[in-house]
Structure formats: C-alpha cells, structure tokens
Amino acid sequence: MQDKNNKMDYKTLNELIKTGNILLKIMLTLFILAIGVLIIYLLDKTSVLVTIGKILGIISPFFIGVGLAWILEPAINYFVKNKVGRKLATIVVYLIFIFLIGIILALIVPEFISQVNELIKKIPDFLSEINTFINDIFTSISSSEFDLTELKDNLLKTLNDWATNLSANDLSGIVSGVGSSLKVIFDFTLGLLIAFYLSLDFSKVSKYINLFVPMKYQNEVNKLKVALNDMLRSYVNGTLLSCLFVLILSLIGFLISGISSPLLFAIFCAITNIIPYFGPYIGGIPVVVVGFAISPFAGIGCLITVFVVQFLEGNILHPLIVGKAISLHPITIMVSLLVFEYFFGVVGMIFAPPIIATLKIIYMYLEDKHHFMNKLKATIN
C-alpha cells in the first residue's frame, strides 16, 4: 500500500514540477513583454519614437536594399552552384526580378486602378443599400424597453461621413497620393540599386558584421545568425506562399459571387492575411458587407469564400509552412499584435510575429548559455 502511495506521490510531484515550469515560462514571457512595452511607452512619451521613425524613413532605401538582396540571394546561389560567375548570376537574377515586377505591374495596376474607381463610383449605391439594411435590422429588434434610435443614428452618421470622405477626390488628396507614390517608387528604385551592389558580393556583408564581434564570440554569433536566417527565410517564404494562395482562391470565389472589384478585394484579403488571427477579419468583413449590399447571393458567396479560404489557410497551410517557422504560442502572438498595433498601427501588426520570433531565438540562445530558468528556480526555492 505504501509503494502505491509513493508512486502516486512521485506522479503528483512530477505533474506539479511540469506545471511550475510552464507557469515560470509564462511569467518570464509576460515579464519580458512588460519590459518591452514599458520601454516602447517611455520612448513614445519622450518623442524618441517619432525621431526614430523619421530617421528610418530617410534611410528606408537601405533597408529595402538589404531585404531584396537577402530575398534574392538563394536564386543567385543557385546559378553560382551551377558554375555561373557571381556577377553574371547577379545580373541575370535582377533582370528576371525586374521583368517579373514589370509584368505584374502591367497586368495588375491598370485593372486595380479601374476597380478602385468603379468601387468609388458605386459607394453611394452601396451606402443606400447598407442604410436600408441597418434600418431594417434596428426596426426588427426595436422594442418599447430599449431605445436604439441614437445608436442607429450614430452608426449611419459614421458610415455617411466615411463614404463622403472616401468619395471626395479633391485636388489636395490627388496631389498627396501622387507625391506618396513617387516617393515609394524612388525609395524602391534606390533600394533596388543598393540591393544589386550588395548582391555582387553578399558574403562580405557577413564578414563586415563579424568585424564588430570579438573573436571569441564569433562562432556563437555565426550559429545565432544561421538560426535567425533560417527562421526568417522560412517565415517570409511561407507568408508569401500563403498570401498567393489566399489571393488566387479569393479571386476565384469573388468572381463567382459576382461582387464588384473582385481583384481589389482579393488583394486586400491577401495583404491583411499576413496579420495572424486578426487579419482574416480585417480583410473579410468589408467584402462581405459590400457583397450583401449588392445582393443576398453575392453576400453569401463572399461569406462562403472568406470562410473556406481562411479555414484552409488557417488550419492546413499556415501551420505547415508558417507556424513551424516561428513556433510561438498563440497567446504570445496575440499579445504582441495588440502591443505593436497600439504603438505602430497595422504595419506594426505585420512585423510583430517575426520580431517576437527573433527575440525568442536570441533568448533561447542566451538561455542555453546562461540557464536563466534554472537560476530563477533556485532563487524561488
């Protein structure tokens, strides 16, 4: 009888230890996130973030160049491994890249602009349909006990103001849009030139980084760079493939549904899909609303399309090609999305997962060397 009790005690003890380890990891993660939030908050309040943002905006072509060179490096290495000279391989890859970008822009941009203009012209009709739909809903749920008139009026006013602002194509808006487009084109072109020169001898970039690292740490830093490179490359490749999947299937579904501007909404769904958890709702809700404004068939078709595409992407494709790359707990991702969205908006939500995954890899590397968890346990005990 005593042996059985001992076995039960050991089993219970092991479960308590496992639970304690999980709680410690959660506490440590929350502690790290809290420190990060505090630092960002202090930087935001002292206007340091604004200054950093302006500096990053000025040197953004450099980051574009580094990113493009990093993305195209595997293609260049493929030619090099097949006995093509590095310079020739770089020229060929960049010519192919520029050609593909040109083809995509030639095929998509005119149609995209056309569909945007078509959508803007139809906004008054959509707004009228949505107003009728909202009035019918509030009429059906209104009662003597609850007065929802004020809520309905506020909602309709918000929709009307939004539609008015969107439809107002004044000169200042056009000039501002053209100016922003020219800056993007200039930054990308300059970034492409920087990327080309970096790609001519990309291996030297790693050597230059090592010049700032003491000799005794270089092996460890190289291991860390390999781990970060593998994670980021898997994440970027998986995300691009996932977005392409969402774009193609959404476009097919929206075309069948008969919704206006199917390409515009498919691109919007593909871009917002980069944001985990929240992205599908950001991209899906507008298209479903517009679909029901057109007709019940279009609305139901759009709803089914969004649901099916997100189910396949979220439950099959994403876990296989993206989830394994960053291997972050869903709670960690959601908290990081909320924090980054608060300080940096939607752009922050896009970059939150790879940034948090990068910090996790760096932490795991330091943990393996310094055993913070064991020291924390010893301190608690």
Place of tokens 């194509």: 169
Q: What is the CA radius of gyration of the chain?
A: 26
Kindly state the percentage of the chain with pLDDT values over 90: 6
Q: Tokens for 262?
A: 């199917």
For the segment 64-71, the average pLDDT, to the nearest whole number, is 88
| Whole-number pLDDT of residue 96 | 94
Q: In whole numbers, what is the pLDDT of the chain averaged over residues?
A: 76
Kindly state the percentage of the chain with pLDDT values over 70: 65
Q: Model confidence at 91, in pLDDT bands (50, 70, 90)?
A: very high
Residue by residue, what is the 3-state secondary structure of the chain?
CHHHHHHHHHHHHHHHHHHHHHHHHHHHHHHHHHHHHHHHHHHHHCCHHHHHHHHHHHCHHHHHHHHHHHHHHHHHHHHHHCCCCHHHHHHHHHHHHHHHHHHHHHHHHHHHHHHHHHHHHHHHHHHHHHHHHHHHHHHHHCCCCCCCHHHHHHHHHHHHHHHHHHHCCCHHHHHHHHHHHHHHHHHHHHHHHHHHHHHCCCHHHHHHHHHCCCHHHHHHHHHHHHHHHHHHHHHHHHHHHHHHHHHHHHHHHHHHHCCCCHHHHHHHHHHHCCCCCCHHHHHHHHHHHHHHHHCHHHHHHHHHHHHHHHHHHHHHHHHHHHHHHHCCCHHHHHHHHHHHHHHHHHHHHHHHHHHHHHHHHHHHHHHHHHCHHHHHHHHHC
In the predicted model, is pLDDT for residue 364 greater than 90? no
| Whole-number pLDDT of residue 361 | 81
| Whole-number pLDDT of residue 94 | 93
Give per-residue pLDDT as tens, 12-34: 666 666 676 667 666 666 676 67
| Whole-number pLDDT of residue 273 | 85
| Whole-number pLDDT of residue 24 | 66
Give per-residue pLDDT as tens, 259-284: 877 888 888 888 888 887 778 888 88
59-63, 154-158, 286-290: least confidently modelled range:
154-158
Q: Are 124 and 167 in contact (CB under 8 A)?
A: yes
